[in-house]
Amino acid sequence: MSLSRIMKWITGGCEAFLGIPFIGGAFILSSGWGALFVMFILHLVTLLVAHNEKGSKAGSIIGMVTSVVAVIPILGMIMHIITAIVLLIDAMINKK
């Protein structure tokens, strides 16, 4: 299994957790929005790895946008869920 695929599983799982109503929001608030910064960095690393492996970059780009706009409560939850779906599907179908 490629490193980009592993990173997509990890970031997709984290995004799914952050998209859980109230629980994800409480986690983000309790970290002082640090969780969003960590997720931005993880998506950036995943993007760079996917670029080097000539893989799909869409999920990582959406994830970086999500990390920025997720300070808006309801929009953030929706974006986390969408990002999780994109990343997890990409990790499942990407065999590189």
Taking each continuous run of H as one helix and of E as one strand, the counts in the chain are: 5, 0
CA distance readout (Å), 28 to 18, 33, 36, 49, 53: 8, 5, 7, 26, 31
* Rounded Cα gap, residues 9 and 12, in angstroms: 5
pTM of the model: 0.93
pLDDT tens digits, 7-65: 999 999 999 999 999 999 999 999 999 999 999 999 999 999 999 999 899 999 999 99
How is the chain split into domains, by residue range?
Answer: 3-93
Cβ-Cβ contacts under 8 Å for 92 (sequence gap 6 or more): none
